[in-house]
Each structure stands twice: as C-alpha cells, then as structure tokens.
Amino acid sequence: MRRAWQRLLALVHRDRIDRELDEDVRAHLELAERDARAAGLSPEDARREALLRFGPLEAMKEAHRDERAVPWLENLVRDVRYGLRATCRTPGFAAVVVCTLALGIGANTAIFSVVSAVLLRPLPYRDSDRLVTIASNTDPDMRRQAYTALSYPDYQDIKTLTDAIADAAGIRTIATT
C-alpha cells in the first residue's frame, strides 16, 4: 500500500527524481574515478574503469524507472503528451481528424438509436414477448405469403373463442417509405 502510493508520487516528481539520480551517478563515477587514479591508472583509464564497473547506465536508469513508478502509466502519460504536442503542431490536420471523428461518432449514434428502438428494445406493451400479429393468407394454395387483414367476424371469433390468444385488438398497417 505504502509502495503503491510512493510509486504514484514518483510519477509526479519524475523530473526531480531523475535529476537526483543523475547527481548520485555523477558523484558515484567521480568517486570511482578518484579511487582508480589513486590505484595508479591514467586519467582516461580511470574514467573508463569507473564506467565499466558501474555497468550499463541506460539500462540502470530504465530499471530505476520501472522500480520506482508505474511504468505503463508513465508511458501512457508520455504518449498522451507526445500526442498533444504533435496535434498542436499541425492544427489543420487535427481539425480534419476531429471532424472525421465527430461525423463518424454522430452517424453511429444516430443509427444505433434507430436500431435500438426498432430491433433491440421490447415493444412498449405489457408482456410484449407474447405479442403476435394475425393475418389471413389469401393465396388459395398457401404457397405464397399473401397476407391481408382479417374480416371483422374472424377478428371477433379470435378475440372471444380462441384460448391461445388472451386478447386481441385490430390494427391497420399503412405502407410507408
């Protein structure tokens, strides 16, 4: 818990921590160089020896960053910053991208609202999953589906006589385009 908090803090103080690490490393190399020269190495050799003993510097910094913070979050922050900077550099392109996105999202939302109302949401009636439409097929061989409305007496029979149908109401369909 304590570490999780510290790691988040480290994200905020990233620059300061990096600076302090650099200070530490500089002091370290200086001391190592001094010791190597005291042992009789030439200044160049001492410098080389110090670096060699220290090991790969960039790998260490990488490990340091991974250790102290939340690497994926740090990368995310960096990527977002980079993205914003890049966007500000090319405002025309950015505007086109924003418009494209806006149109795309808008069109999707519009179509989805229709689909949702027509196909996905149940009809706004009680027991809407038990609703059926009844029509009569006028094709004498019953091969084609030529539906037409029921006659009023048929409707009355269905309403009163059929057990399978709890209640019935007449509707009239209008062809629309």
Partner 1 sequence: MVDMSNLDMSKPRRDIPRGMLDLLILQTLETMGALHGYGIARRIEQVAGGDRRLSQGAIYPALVRLQQQGWIRATWGTSETSRQVKFYELTKAGTKQLHIEIAGWEESTALMARFLEAKP
- Is residue 49 within 8 A of residue 32, CB to CB? The reply is yes
Q: Which is nearer to partner 1, 34 or 81 (CB)?
A: 34
Q: Which is nearer to partner 1, 57 or 102 (CB)?
A: 57
Structure tokens at 149: 């409305």
Q: Which residue has the tokens 């370290």?
A: 28
d(CA 69, CA 7): 4
Q: How far is the CB of 40 from partner 1 (least distance, A)?
A: 8
Instruction: Name the amino acid, one letter, at 45.
Output: D
Q: Which is nearer to partner 1, 12 or 134 (CB)?
A: 12
Which DSSP letter does residue 147 get? E
Which DSSP letter does residue 142 get? S
Q: How far is the CB of 54 from partner 1 (least distance, A)?
A: 5
Q: Which is nearer to partner 1, 55 or 140 (CB)?
A: 55
Q: Which is nearer to partner 1, 63 or 102 (CB)?
A: 63
Q: How far is the CB of 33 from partner 1 (least distance, A)?
A: 9
What is the contact surface with partner 1 in residues (CB under 8 A)? 2-3, 6-7, 10, 17, 20-21, 23-28, 30-32, 34-36, 39-41, 49, 52-57, 59-60, 63-64, 66-68
* CA angle (123 as vertex; 118, 124 as ends), nearest 5: 125
| 3-class SS letters over 108-128 | HHHHHHHHHHHHHCCCCCCCH
- In this structure, what are the phi and psi dihedrals at residue 147, rounded to the nearest 5 degrees? -80, 145
Q: How far is the CB of 15 from partner 1 (least distance, A)?
A: 15
Q: How far is the CB of 1 from partner 1 (least distance, A)?
A: 11
Paired with 137 in beta bridges are 147
